[in-house]
Amino acid sequence: MSESPFRIDIEERSAGGLRVPVYILHDTQGSVRAEVWPANGFNLLRWQTGSANGWQDWLFASPEWEANPVPSRSGFPILFPFPNRIRDGRFVFKGREYQLPKNDSTSKNGIHGMAPRRPWEIVSTSVADDHAVITGRFSLSPMLMGPEWNWPGQGTLTIRYELTRTTLHMSIVVENTGHDDLPFGLGFHPYFRHPDAVDGSINNVTLIAPTQTLWETHDGLPTGRKVPAPSELQFGADAPIGTRTADTLYADVRPTNDRETFFGELSVPNASRKLTMTTSTNFRDLVLFTPVHRQAVCIEPYTCATDAVHLQEQGIDAGWLVLPAGRTWEGWVRLHINQ
């Protein structure tokens, strides 16, 4: 039997002083590869395409990753059971108060959930002529989380990465495995770069994204009002990002059609390759973030707004989800390189 054009290899790497397994998905022709780190939140740390000059990165990975693998600053972090912040790290669900670690940069709010900070279980791997697949599962349960991560209900988040030569497809399933309702929100925090950008900077990269309306925020938390985005925070035309900065929550991201929602496209003037992100229609909010190092731009699809649990308490539709016992929620995210 001939060797499959795609393979999955397992290597041992260092992260934060620990030796951990890393799954390398790649084709045998050297045209595409991806690194998945299950011990570090199932982070897809690298997605690369091959060239005559070696591997070219479509994701930014911090050069300090091995010494200090900060969960939400490299690769493709998975934010669950809530994306972004919960005010004071505290909320009430069905009359009971829950307190989370105040672990944002201000030490005032909870941020980005538990999934990017915990090891994931590998469910399965497989390869075929035109793709490689790895599936991981995160379990949200008191026994695994410890007393500092207090959350109502129990459930699992299962993500299946499928890598082809031009596409990375993520299939997502949330399952309520407990006896009570499971509240949650889900988001992703990918650090995109474009290999054709000058000096790796995003300044000459063109970003097109649905940025007409934003959530008004104060100290990084939504007030509940939606307002038109000012021109400097609209990324809807063929103009480079330049020196613009963003750490902005956009609202009312509308489905492109009944099957998918467009969340963003990256290109470089005079280069043919474009990176496009689309999702299932149950993603509805967007965060754009430009890190100070200017080596990446984050295009973050969310199923809900920041601090959605508190907005919902005020009667504002913010996308906060409650999954009944025994039920599942499904979605997907797709990245495509158009060459």
Domain limits of the chain?
A: 6-338
Q: pLDDT of 130-174, one tens digit each? A: 999 999 999 998 767 777 788 999 999 999 999 999 999 999 999
Assigned token pair, 297: 């731009």
Dihedral angle computed from the Cα positions of residues 25, 135, 173 and 83, in that order, rounded to the nearest 10 degrees: -60
Q: How confident is the model at residue 3 (pLDDT cuts 50, 70, 90)?
A: low
**pLDDT of 1 above 50:** no
**CATH number, domain 6-338, options 3.40.50.300, 3.40.50.10420, 2.70.98.10, 3.40.109.10:** 2.70.98.10
Q: Average pLDDT over the chain, rounded to whole?
A: 96
Give me the mean pLDDT over the 310-331 stretch.
Answer: 98
Q: Give the percent of the chain with pLDDT over 90.
A: 93
**pLDDT of 2 above 60:** no
